[in-house]
Each structure stands twice: as structure tokens, then as C-alpha cells.
Amino acid sequence: MDNRYAIILAAGQGKRMKSSKPKVLHTVCGKPMVSHVVDQVQAANFAQTAVVVGHEGAEVQKVLGDEVSFVWQNERLGTGHAVKQAKPLLGDKKGTTLVISADTPMISAVTMQDLSDHHEHSGAKATVLTARVDDPTGLGRVIRDPETGEVQKIVEHKDASAKERGISEINTATYCIDNEALFSALQEVTNDNAQEEYYLPDVIEILKARGEKISAWETPDAAEALGINDRVALADAEKTMQRRINEYWMKQGVTFVDPDHTYVSVDTELGADTTIYPGTMLRGQTVIGEGCEIGPHSDITDSRVVDFTTIKQSTVSASVIGEHVHIGPFAHIRPDSSIAQGAKVGNFVEIKNTEVGKGSKANHLSYIGDAELGEDVNLGCGAITVNYDGKEKHVTTIEDGAFIGCNANLVAPVTIGQNSFVAAGSTITDDVPGESLSIARARQTNKDGYLKEK
């Protein structure tokens, strides 16, 4: 919207997290909580977004990149002071400003839009996002006029009367405020309190004292109001968001055998008729195609898996897996690998920076690093590419139809020609021509009676 703006508060240290990392960079379902908030603000089409940074602000900037504008709160003097830092960027704008904390990753773009719509239609100068919770202990209560529904006041738990403590509607600390009124009222906010800080909620009281209308809009999903201040709340948010993600994909035609023990990042995409087994973790920007079987206990990160592929009890990182591929159990596909259609990678096989051609297979106990395998290549049990000379990595090329016997060592750089055969136990240091048999092992010698003589 052309006249809607957002200020995201991300300057705090979050001491209760007991972490050297800024609170807002702790992840929920694979993404820093500040990134969740920024993504939803952008999905809600706000015209401009300012992120207020302070503690380890350079790290927050690094994570968000050029997605938003940044303003600095060099001294952490309260939420009102933090919002005031955005005045050079937004102070001359007309319209509505959403003020939201970066530690509320559950809030959705729909809620942001609905809150803004209600605010503008109500004619209020400020609107508070509220939620109803079963146990509001310790949270600020929203006291409404019983006739108009307008906000009379927001009272903190410690200051609330017994009657007020019985109210279950709480202040989520997310607000929509007329932009001009916001920066005007901030000029009157003082730090005359025990903490000597400038508090954003004082803006509501100032506008109320001016006779302005203060409204409230209640989110239908109280989980959206979850703010994260410690590791317990972080785990609660993880669980809640994970349930939301898994339920979404189940409604798109994905089977979760045990959704309570399956972990899918917010940026992962899943195809219909895929089955995800328990203990599986799908991280980052992973894409799983249709009709796949993943797990149990597979760990896939930033990878693309094409249709009708099975990955059992294996790890895949930053790689592309073709259709009708079978991987595992206990395989490890390391970054920059590509496994083509119909290939098989079996138990205890490790592949790194390698292209595996269509229909090729390595079924047991192999290491394949820095290699190029053609189509229909067979690597026997224990076959490895010897890719590192102590200083540099070298490439092994295995052409179409080659057969590598058990426990063969291919010392790179080396090329195994098309339809050639490397005998079991060989250590290959020179290129093997196509259609050839290569044997590189010592002749067997038996010494009869040797042990009896000993």
C-alpha cells in the first residue's frame, strides 16, 4: 500500500536468551525470527519498511541484506526511543505505520493487513493488536469501553485490579498508528519511570489525552501474539510454527506419517503424494518433488529432489537428486553433487562434488569425491576415488558403462574409459582405455607351511 509503512524493532540484546547471538537472529523453523517478520511485512505490501537495529546490528544487517532500510538505535533507551530513530526516514510521511517487534515471528501478513484495514476504517489515531489467552498472567490487559469497544487504557499486570486481571484480552505490543500522530506524540514521551526509558505505549496515553480515538483489533489466532524472550518461548514458537507448516503441506496432498516428529523449514516446498517419515529434517530452501519417499531420519538441506525418488536414513546437502533415484540407507550426499535419473546410492556411500550419470550405481561402502560418472557406471563395494594429494583436489572421470571392481582405488587425476573394467583390488594411477581390462595389484604368493615352521 502506498501510504502504509512498517517499523520493525530489532535493536535489543535479549539478555534472557543467554546467548552471544542477537535474540532476533535465533531461528524458528530454519529462519531467523526477524526474517519471518520482514517476510510477512513484505507480503503485506507495505510501501516502506524500517528496521531499527542496535545490539550486534551489523549481524542483523548482514542477514537481511538490502531487503529493507535500516536505522540505528545506538543507545537502547526503550521502545519509544527506538521508534523515534525512524523519524528521518518516515517522519514526513502521511498514512499508517505498523510498529512491530522482531521477536514476534508468528504474526502473518493477513493479520497485518486486517489490522491496518480495521485501523483505517475505524477512524482511530492508533489501533492496538490484541489477543485472548487462557493465562494472561504477567501480560498487559486491554480495557475497552463496554459500549463503543474503544480502548480506555492498557494496564500492566502488576498495576491491574483484581477485576482487570480477570480480563483475558492482552496487548501484543503491535500497533497501527497514524504516522504524523506517532512522531508528534513521541516528542512528548518522557523517561520519568523506574527504568528511565522511553516507552512506546506512552504514545497511546498521549493520544488518548488529546481526545483521539484509540481502537483495538483482536487476532483470531492467539499464537500470533507469541513474543520470544527466552529459550522456552523459542521452543514453543518452533513447535507452533512447525505444526502450522506441516498442516499446510498435508492439505496440499503430502503424507506425514508422524507430523509431531517431522521437521520442515518454512522455505521448503513439497510435492503432492510425497510421504515424509518420522525423524526427517528438511532444511533451508529444499524442494521435494511429487511421489517421493523421504525418511525415516533423513536430513536434507538446500537441495532439490525430483519426482518419485526415495531417500532413506541419509543426509543430502546443497545437491540435486534426479527422478526415480534411490538413496540410502546411511548415505551422505555432500554439497555440489548431482545424481541423475535412475541412479542408486547405497548404504555407507559418501559422494562429494560429483556428477553421477543416469542409471549408475554405488551400492555399498564407497567414497566418490570430485568425480564425473557417466551413465550405467557400476562401482563395487569399497571402491573409492583418491582425490586429494595433500595440497589439491583432482578429478576422476569414469565414462559410460565402466565397471569398477570391489576395493579399487582410482588415484586422480585419472580417466576410466567407456565400457572398461577395473579388476577388484586394483590401484589405478594411469588412464584406462575404453573397452579394456585393467589390473593393478601384486601377484599372490603362498608360502606353504610358513606358520607351522613358526
**DSSP calls for 156-217:** -GGG--HHHHT--EEEEEEEEEEHHHHHHHHTT----STT----THHHHHHHHHTT--EEEE
Say whether pLDDT at 1 is over 80: no
- pLDDT over 90 for what percent of the chain? 85
pLDDT confidence bin for 138, thresholds 50/70/90: confident
Give a yes or no: residue 447 inside a domain.
Answer: no
Asked, for residue 245, whether it belongs to a domain, the answer is no
Judgement on whether residues 138 and 265 belong to the same structural domain of the protein: no
Q: Give the model's pLDDT for residue 157.
A: 82
Cis geometry, peptide bond prior to residue 220 (ω within 30 degrees of 0): no
Q: Is the predicted pLDDT of residue 155 greater than 90, yes or no?
A: no
Residue 236 included in any domain: no
- Residues identified as active-site: 364
Q: Which domain holds residue 423?
A: 253-438
Task: Give yes or no: residues 86 and 197 share one domain.
Answer: yes
Same-domain status, 216 and 267: no
Annotated binding site for acetyl-CoA: 387-388, 424, 441
Query: Residues marked as binding for Mg(2+)?
Result: 103, 229
Here the CATH number for the domain that contains residue 103 is 3.90.550.10
Residue 193 has pLDDT above 90, yes or no: no
Give the number of residues written for the chain.
Answer: 454
**What's the average model confidence in pLDDT over 300-318?**
98
Average pLDDT estimate for 211-240: 93
Which residue did the predictor score with more confidence, 404 or 196?
404
The total domain count for the chain is: 2
pLDDT at 250 over 90: yes
**Mean pLDDT value across residues 70-99:** 95
Task: Please tell me whether residues 8 and 144 are part of one structural domain.
Answer: yes
pLDDT tens per residue across span 89-129 = 999 999 999 999 999 999 999 999 999 999 999 999 999 99
Per the CB < 8 A criterion, the answer to whether 367 and 382 are in contact is no
CA distances from 154 to 79, 106, 120, 200 (A): 16, 23, 21, 12
- Report the predicted TM-score, pTM, of the whole model to 2 decimal places: 0.90
Tell me which of 231 and 135 has the higher pLDDT: 231
CA–chain centroid gap for 353, Å, is 24
| Domain assignment of residue 448, yes or no | no
What's the whole-number mean pLDDT along residues 54-60? 94
Residue 300 maps to which CATH number? Answer: 2.160.10.10
150 versus 321: which is more confidently predicted? 321
Predicted pLDDT of residue 370 = 98
